[in-house]
Amino acid sequence: MDRLVIEGGVRLAGEVAVSGAKNATLPILTAALLTAEPLTVSNVPHLRDVTTMLNLLAQMGVAVSMDERLGVELTAARIAEPVAPYELVKTMRASVLVLGPLTARCGEARVSLPGGCAIGLRPVDQHLKGLQAMGAEVAIEHGYISVRAKRLKGARIRMDLVTVTGTENIMMAATLADGTTVIENAAREPEVVDLAHCLNAMGARVQGAGSDVITIEGADRLHGARYRVMPDRIETGTFLVAAAATGGSIRLTGARPDVLDAVREKLREPGAHVTTGPDWIALETNGALSAVNVRTAPYPGFPTDMQAQFMALDSIARGTALVTETVFENRFMHVQELKRLGADIEVEGNNAVVKGVAHLDGATVMATDLRASASLVLAGLIARGTTTVDRVYHLDRGYERIEEKLSKLGARIRRVR
């Protein structure tokens, strides 16, 4: 199993390019199931979750080919088996994103019920509620969700809570439904908007994505398209925090500053200087940063996927910060590990009180989820001495060549096999 070995204490400086967004790529790849014609997706990041999704689609009979620049062409001329098996769903919850497209295109789908995962229970009741409202029959049998619908019918669906993949599943299902579907209390995340753009390029009629009401007029068929995935806002945010925490100065190219308002604000508040252009974002620091409170919320609020990274920053900031997680019920697994590096953090319910310490000291740490692992890498960059981050495969799920990119910025980091 790979591990990352980090010698901390280097100020990050320089320029790196942002990769395509994982959480936009995954639903966009499943959109290929909606048409018999080729969907060509570019700016696809080279990540373990993307490989898992491509394997899942290939297993269903989708023809997948890739060019050397990581453009992926998917052709779902025929879908042999509309099934997402346990073996794949258990390694990646986002596999549930095939549910909507398969039901719409094949009239049936069987998807293993995603179990609990490291960051919380994460049920899929809202995905199912939406499909049922569109006339699908849903049954849970032998650990699988079975959905059947001759042809889905447009419906007005009010989500009980904001769910990103739930919104995406219903939006995709509705593109081939009979009539108009309205999703109320829809997720407003930029990745939902990116998927809507891709669907519209395929001939779908989706309006309102980015607001909390999305309207989809169903079509008889969709066609092939070419689509370029948006840049990854969480990767962007992670590198910005890495620079801020090490007192560095960086410039990220190929970025989307317009979807990072909440993160930029939370970097300016403790004293970092953030500047932006149309497709770049830069950060400079001037001395030690002060502690910053964060409270996660659905977009346009502060992203839960950035909470762990800010906790690493707060652990060495001046003063005390309150970090509140409102999206997932168990997303503080990094706390125990940060404490092993000397951080002073107390958790009570969904609040963490982080008292800034003068320095962290290197140690061996590991985490059980992607963003928690990212926060440990940041902590390793700050800490004195050597930090070893175990179970790098969590990072490989969502960060493309993280050690290469950090090395380019001057970090002393290497992968050990």
- Report which DSSP code applies to 248: -
d(CA 257, CA 252): 10
Q: Is 23 in the site for ligand EPU (CB under 6 A)?
A: yes
Report 151-180 residues binding ligand EPU (CB under 6 A). Answer: 161, 163-166
Residues paired with residue 157 on neighbouring β-strands, in sequence order: 183
Would you count residue 398 as binding ligand EPU (CB under 6 A)?
yes
* Pairing label, strands 294-295, 320-324: parallel
CB of 145 to ligand EPU, least distance (A): 11
**In the sheet where 320-324 sits, what is the strand order?**
294-295, 320-324, 351-355, 344-348
Site size toward ligand EPU (CB under 6 A) is 24
> What is the C-alpha radius of gyration for the chain, rounded to an integer number of angstroms?
21
Q: Give yes or no for residue 248 binding ligand EPU (CB under 6 A).
A: no
Calpha distance 21→192 (Å, rounded): 12
Q: Name the residue nearer to ligand EPU (CB basis): 237 or 362.
A: 237
Active site residue 106: no
* Position 140 contacts ligand EPU (CB under 6 A): no
Interaction of residue 218 with ligand EPU, rule CB under 6 A: no
Only segment of 125-133, 140-148, 313-321, 359-367 that touches ligand EPU (CB under 6 A) = 125-133
Q: Of the residues 117, 201, 262, 322, which is catalytic?
A: 117
Q: Decide if residue 246 touches ligand EPU (CB under 6 A).
A: no
Per the CB < 8 A criterion, the answer to whether 44 and 254 are in contact is no
For 342, half-sphere exposure in the C-beta direction (CA atoms, 13 angstrom radius) is 16
Nearer to ligand EPU, 291 or 370 (CB): 370
- Encoded amino acid at 348, one letter: E
Q: How far apart are CA 64 and CA 61, in angstroms?
A: 9
Query: Hey, is 23 helix, strand or coil?
Result: helix
The binding track of 286-305 with respect to ligand EPU, each residue x by CB under 6 A or -, is ------------------xx
DSSP 372: H
Shortest Å, Cβ 166 to ligand EPU: 5
- When binding is defined by CB under 6 A, the residue of 48, 105, 127, 251 that contacts ligand EPU is 127
Q: Which is nearer to ligand EPU, 200 or 350 (CB)?
A: 350
In 3D space, the residue among 73, 16, 18, 25 whose CA is nearest the CA of residue 48 turns out to be 25
In the bound state with ligand EPU, the residue whose beta carbon lies nearer, of 122 and 359, is: 122
According to the binding rule CB under 6 A, does residue 307 interact with ligand EPU? no
| 29 sits near ligand EPU (criterion: CB under 6 A) | no
CA distance to 23, 171, 272, 292, per residue, from 202 (Å) = 19, 13, 42, 43
User: What residues make contact with ligand EPU under the rule CB under 6 A?
Assistant: 23, 26, 93-94, 120-127, 161, 163-166, 304-305, 327-328, 370-371, 398
Instruction: Give the catalytic positions in this structure.
Output: 117
